[in-house]
Amino acid sequence: MATKDNLVFSSDDEEYFGEAGSFGVPKFDIEMRGGIPRGFTVVCIVETGAGAELFAKQFSSPAEEPENTLYVSTSESGKEILRVFSKYGWPDDINVRTIGEEYNERVLEKELQASRYRLQGFGMKDIQTLAQTRFVDDEADDFLTELTNEIMTLKPYFRAVVDNMDFFFQRNDHSKVVSMLRMMQAHTQMMRGLLLMTVSKDTITKATESEISMIADMVLRFEVFMVGTEFETRMVIKKFRNAPENLAVITYRVTPEEGITPETVQRIA
Amino acid sequence: MQSSSYTRDRCVTGVHGLDEILRGGIPYGSTVLAAGTCGSGKTTLGMEFLVRGAATGEACAHFTATEPSVKLLENIRQFPFFDMGMVDSGLINVFDMDVLYSWLGLEKASFDLEDVHALIKAITDIVNTIGVTRLVIDSVTTLCYKIKSEQLIRDFLFTLGKKLATLGCTTILISEITSATENAHWSSFGVEEAICDGIIVMGDVERMGHLLRFLQVVKMRGTAHSRAKNTLELTPLGVMLTPMLKWGSTVDNKQGWG
């Protein structure tokens, strides 16, 4: 693994990747005065229905190096994700990991099987297999550590998205998730990567929210509310490290051509 | 009317000396607690009990909770009385409790009532399906550590013993104890000894500077038996029990039980 001491960025790479990367939303890049600085970790605190899943996918779409771009989903299937990428014409050769599917396969199916054994008992074949099984399949179901390890192995200028962190907050001690997030943020900073994570507003406590907001370089809040008889969606840029002038409230809509598209911008700072 | 000379059918253990002590063997369907200190030969005794049964065609099962089955089989296969073919042919079925827990979704620190019932059902299912007539659980102490309530341990052992007896299975529950002296409990949780049909105590006694293993049948419902201490030797041919001589003890007067 690269360390601070042995990590050298070539001038060619620096020139190619630049100081900032794209959010995947051109109008948003403009509003943020050139995009997202390399090394940033973005935390999106989202409300259901605000379109953050699409924004997460859109964020991975610039995929400067597809093999160094990772999209982790905890709820969607691989097919669903690729269908959206293909609909918007985004590159579909990035690395996709579907932890939700893995969880179903590794944990839920095992639990279902255990329930079946408990309810219906063992058949002769089961007993024969049981008598010949000498070791417990101890494949760790620690998805949080796996996720952290996977992010920590990404190379310089990587781009990674985790949609969303609720899965980990619901299954782990919040302090453990925050510690892992801290490690991932440090790695992103060191590798000049770009990391975006989403988390639902109602999943975390105020204390956890303020802790992860402190760790993140940028905090976006996705909100949805009713105006008259219509839904309106907006994004509040609550934190932008070293650039408070970027703090803003942006209303946006979703178009079939561009995905998330900012409409109006109201500066906060 | 039943004759007064009625005797229960016996499960002939085949362990040298034990059947003589038990006047022919363990009464069929009994649940016997083999309580012993560390290194007293409990596992070997349990395994030989199964091997002798398998040699006469009985289906046997061993549930190991204290050591992995791989290690257990490696240790036991050095005894000439043991034949690995009995495991391969399914006459002796060795089950890892860890694997069983995993299959039943019981990978947790403590068991509740539902878990205990699931475990009893699994064990009796196995006994019933294979037609097991000899069963060893090594050790019931390790297993019961996961059952936090004394009442639940009592229910577990009582229900398990009752169900196994109904299925005609003679069971040895191995129990780890720290002392085998007369003041010691023969069980770790204080309930096993009251529920079991028989109690066999195993421990060490010092004789003329030597630490001898001993075995003593303290209780066995359904049969007359000797309550004398017997020296237990682990020979290449298996466990060998011989009546312990009274002379030469340096500690008998002080400790009585060894």
Residue ranges of the domains in chain A? 11-126+139-267
Q: Is the dihedral of CA B25, B30, B36, B40 positive or negative?
A: positive
List, for residues B165-210, the tens digit of each pLDDT value.
899 999 999 999 887 676 666 777 777 888 899 999 999 988 888 8
Q: Which positions in chain B have a beta carbon within 8 angstroms of at least one beta carbon in chain A?
A: 68-70, 90, 93-96, 98-107, 118, 121-122, 125-126, 129-130
Candidates A89, A30, A90; CA nearest to A66 is A90
- A-chain residues near B111 (CB < 8 A): none
B134 class by beta-carbon count within 10 Å (0-12 exposed, 13-18 middle, 19+ buried): buried
Read off the pLDDT band of B5 (50, 70, 90): low
Which residues on A lie below 8 Å from B95 (Cβ)? 130-131
Q: What is the ipTM of this complex?
A: 0.85
Each of the 269 residues of chain A gets a pLDDT tens digit; together they read 556 667 788 889 888 899 999 999 999 999 999 999 999 999 999 999 899 999 999 999 999 999 999 999 999 999 999 999 999 999 999 999 999 999 998 889 889 999 999 999 999 999 999 999 998 876 667 899 999 999 999 999 999 999 999 999 999 999 999 999 999 999 999 999 999 999 999 999 999 999 999 999 999 999 998 888 888 999 999 999 999 999 999 999 988 888 899 998 888 76
B210-220/B229-235 β-pairing: antiparallel
Residues near A55 by Cβ (< 8 Å), separated by ≥ 6? A25, A44, A222, A235, A259, A260
Which residue in A127, A128, A131 is closest to B94 by CB distance? A131
d(CA B21, CA B10): 13
**DSSP code at position B245:** P
The model's confidence at residue B255, banded by pLDDT at 50, 70 and 90, is very low
| Residues paired with B170 in a beta bridge | B134
What lies within 8 Å, CB to CB, of A159 at 6+ separation is A21, A59, A60, A62, A63, A64, A65, A68, A69, A70, A193, A194, A195
Does residue B213 surpass a pLDDT of 70?
yes
Strands (E) located in chain B:
10-11, 26-27, 31-36, 59-64, 92-96, 132-138, 170-176, 198-207, 210-220, 229-235, 238-243
- Topology, domain A11-126+139-267: Rossmann fold (3.40.50)
CA distances from B66 to A143, A200, B90 (A): 30, 45, 22
Cα–Cα–Cα angle for B87, B92, B94, rounded to 5 degrees: 85
Which residues sit opposite B174 in a β-bridge? B34, B138
pTM over 0.90: no
Among A82-86, B2-6, B138-142, the range scoring the smallest mean pLDDT is B2-6
User: A14 CA to chain B: closest CA distance, Å?
Assistant: 50
Whether B105 and A114 lie within 8 Å, measured CB to CB: yes
How many pairs of residues across A and B have Cβ atoms under 8 Å apart? 59
> Is B102 close to A134, i.e. CB distance below 8 A?
no
What domains appear along chain B, each with residue ranges and CATH number?
10-255 (3.40.50.300)
Nearest CA-CA partner of B70 in A131, A125, A137: A131
Is residue B252's pLDDT more than 50?
Answer: no
Q: What pairs with residue A232 in β-bridges?
A: A225
Task: Answer yes or no: is pLDDT of B256 > 50.
Answer: no
- Which residues of chain B does A137 touch, with a Cβ-Cβ cutoff of 8 Å? 102
Please judge whether A134 and B99 are an interchain contact, meaning their C-beta atoms are less than 8 angstroms apart: yes
B-facing residues of A in 199-238 (CB < 8 A) are none
Report the pLDDT value the prediction gives residue B210, as an integer from 0 to 100: 87
Give the percent of chain B with pLDDT over 70: 90
Listing DSSP states for chain A in one string gives ---TTT----HHHHHHH-SEE--S-HHHHHHTTSSEETT-EEEEEE-TTS-HHHHHHHHHTT-SSGGGEEEEESSS-HHHHHHHHHHHT----SEEEEHHHHHIIIIIHHHHHHHHHHHH---HHHHHHHHH--S-------HHHHHHHHHHTPPTT-EEEEE-THHHHHHS-HHHHHHHHHHHHHHHHHHT-EEEEEEETTTS-HHHHHHHHHH-SEEEEEEEEEETTEEEEEEEEEEETT-GGG-EEEEEEEETTTEEEEEEEEE--
CB contacts, 8 Å: B103 with chain A: 113-114, 117, 130
- Mean of pLDDT values over B146-162: 91
Tens of pLDDT along B47-92?
A: 999 999 999 999 999 999 999 999 999 999 988 989 999 999 999 9
Biggest alpha carbon–alpha carbon distance for chain B: 55
Average pLDDT, chain B: 89
pLDDT score for A269: 62
Q: Are strands B31-36 and A36-37 parallel, antiparallel or unpaired?
A: unpaired
* Beta-carbon separation of B90 and A130 below 8 A: no
Region B110-132 average pLDDT:
95
How is residue A255 written in tokens? Answer: 């178009």
Residue carrying structure tokens 């095992």? A110
Whether residue A134 lies within 8 A of chain B, CB to CB, comes out as: yes
